[in-house]
Amino acid sequence: MYPKNTWYVACTPDEIADKPLGRQICGEKIVFYRGQEHKVAAVEDFCPHRGAPLSLGYVDNGNLVCGYHGLVMGCDGKTVEMPGQRVRGFPCNKTYAVVERYGFIWVWPGEQDKADAALIHPLEWAENEEWAYGGGLFHIGCDYRLMIDNLMDLTHETYVHASSIGQKEIDEAAPTTTVNGNEGVTARHMENIMAPPFWRMALRGNNLADDVPVDRWQICRFTPPSHVLIEVGVAHAGKGGYDAAPEFKASSIVVDFITPETDTSIWYFWGMARNFNPQDQALTDTIREGQGKIFSEDLEMLERQQQNLLDHPHRALLKLNIDSGGVQSRRILDRIIASEREPEQTVVRISQ
């Protein structure tokens, strides 16, 4: 139950630097590699000869060579050659549209004729040298929507991340959720509070006092299929909060790209983009390490929640105001999934 005619993050460039990468995305087993002129390519991870996974092979001269009997697969899914064989009649492999952009490899797992690179979510910070980015990847055994719920309701920080970014004041500040077409936004502002440890570290990283009251904000933006970009930050209290001048605040964007592997497992690309001290690589590393530790605290909760839901398939869950961000995101997704399933002819017929 996920959109397929859309762009997902498939992997990061380092994952295909030395050898092909086999990865299942939306149920499709795909091998990613650098083909001709170092351009990223993606084909079915299945050798048309005897079914070996092509991802166990290697790249030679821009083509993928099967590691079993040497079939040479082209980026177009056609067999280029095979030792001692005429390959013209070999069946074609499915190929997948892939684009390398913003430091990620994006894949379109659905109908290939609909793939349009212009539909990739724009990430301004990724191309702006005043920003720095650091991130990582987790494999988690849960429905991708549970991860969206998690990120669109940050009250969980108070409980799951109590020692780093959580604080009681999050609970106390009711969030506001709005929907703009296919974008769901849930925002929370806290005023005149003490910053929790992670943000004290960030204040120091931006050469700001960490022992004075701050205003804090969290603005979570969901866009399909499963991107959640969260503006987060603290400013010295009374300097304008979210709108404070840069010299009074430490702010960043929490970056979450959630890629379904199966109905109950995901590839979770997480990271943080910041626009203070972007050249400070040591700070980037410190933040990434801290974020990785914090985000790993969600894993057991998500996997056990998934298991509980599988065990209780008919039990309804609550939809509180704090869940509004997740609920609205699911509505947007349901609409998209339904439209993918509905043949266009049917639509026409109904409108007659």
Binds a copy of itself by CB under 8 A, chosen from 17, 318, 338, 348: 318
Phi, psi of 37 (to 5 degrees): 50, 30
CB 195, min distance to a copy of itself, A: 20
Which region, judged by CB under 8 A, interacts with a copy of itself, from 8-16, 109-117, 275-283, 301-309? 301-309
Question: CA-CA distance, 49 to 65, in Å (whole number)?
Answer: 12
CB 180, min distance to a copy of itself, A: 24
Torsion angle defined by CA atoms of residues 64, 65, 67 and 68, in that order, rounded to the nearest 10 degrees: 130
Binding to a copy of itself by residue 213, rule CB under 8 A? Answer: no
Residues 141-160 that bind a copy of itself (CB under 8 A): 149, 153, 155-156, 158-160
Nearest to 194 by CA among 181, 209, 205, 179: 209
Dihedral sign from CA coordinates of 335, 341, 347, 350: negative
CB 15, min distance to a copy of itself, A: 18
Q: Among residues 157 and 210, whose Cβ is nearest to a copy of itself?
A: 157
Q: Among residues 194 and 301, whose Cβ is nearest to a copy of itself?
A: 301
Q: What is each CA distance from 317 to 143, 222, 313, 325, 327, in whole angstroms?
A: 15, 21, 10, 15, 11
E-strand ranges in the chain read: 8-11, 21-25, 28-34, 40-44, 58-60, 63-65, 72-73, 79-81, 97-101, 104-108, 132-140, 176-180, 183-193, 214-223, 227-236, 249-262, 265-274
Binding to a copy of itself by residue 68, rule CB under 8 A? Answer: yes
Question: CA-CA distance, 26 to 260, in Å (whole number)?
Answer: 5
Q: Among residues 201 and 301, whose Cβ is nearest to a copy of itself?
A: 301
Residues 87-116 that bind a copy of itself (CB under 8 A): 90-91
Q: Among residues 3 and 57, whose Cβ is nearest to a copy of itself?
A: 57
CB 56, min distance to a copy of itself, A: 6
Which region, judged by CB under 8 A, interacts with a copy of itself, from 3-11, 79-87, 105-113, 288-296? 79-87
Question: CA-CA distance, 7 to 61, in Å (whole number)?
Answer: 28
The site map against a copy of itself for 33-62 (x = CB under 8 A) is ------------xx-xxxxxx--xx-----
Residue ranges in contact with a copy of itself by CB under 8 A: 29, 45-46, 48-53, 56-57, 65-70, 82-85, 90-91, 149, 153, 155-156, 158-160, 171-172, 174, 300-301, 304-305, 308-309, 311-312, 315-318, 320-323
